[in-house]
Amino acid sequence: MQEILKKIDWQKIELLPVIVQDVTSNEVLMMAYMDKEALELSLKTRMAHYFSRSKQRIWKKGESSGHIQEIHSFNIDCDSDTLLIKVTQHGVACHTGRPSCFFTELESGAIESEVQISSEALYGVIDTLYHTIQERKNADPTTSWTAKLLSKGDNTILKKVVEEAGEFSFACKDNDAQEIIYEAADLTYHVLVALAAKNISPDRVKQELARRFGMSGIAEKNARDA
């Protein structure tokens, strides 16, 4: 294990690109990144661990979905700056529910494989909606409201957040449960659009909430004001 770690200049690379290939079919399933700790965990457990740039943390492949990757081999390239791993993929590799992340033909835009598993059932509606919003960045603004909103930039996106926050507040004041739920959903969507515009995963918000969970409200506020 130490030999492969020694080959990599972590001060220069920081995050190691990893190509993931099916051990039986040789199909390329995905591309991800490992930091030193993620690679150590992968070497030790023979289960794929990666560093998520959007979540800013190490994650075990399949930690939410159960679609784990058992690693059969590690190969470093000639420059010792890219890793190829061959895996047995349990379930599917892509968060969209497709077998591989490489399902869109670049020139034509054709989708080459069908969704096999509902991603919403695996990841929950918030994460699924966030990924859908990210995908809409490349959609036609004339046919997608989300793409149109994102194309307008920060002023329009943030104006909608403020507008929806106001409507949610008024619904709470009116004590109308159904309207509160409706406006909360609108506000959540527009907050996710704002996060997606900044490439900040909702997982990072969850991490911040988890960090605060062990602190009293007063202690947390004092820590921010210090």
Class of domain 126-225: mainly alpha
Structure tokens at 25: 């079919």
**pLDDT of 165-208, one tens digit each?**
999 999 999 999 999 999 999 999 999 999 999 999 999 999 89
Share of the chain above pLDDT 70, in %: 91
Q: Is the pLDDT of residue 224 over 60?
A: no
CA 15 – CA 50 distance, rounded (Å): 10
| Domain parsing of the chain, residue ranges | 2-119, 126-225
CA 150 – CA 196 distance, rounded (Å): 9
CA 47 – CA 83 distance, rounded (Å): 15
141 DSSP 8-state letter: T
**Structure pTM?**
0.68
Superfamily of domain 2-119: Phosphoribosyl-AMP cyclohydrolase (3.10.20.810)
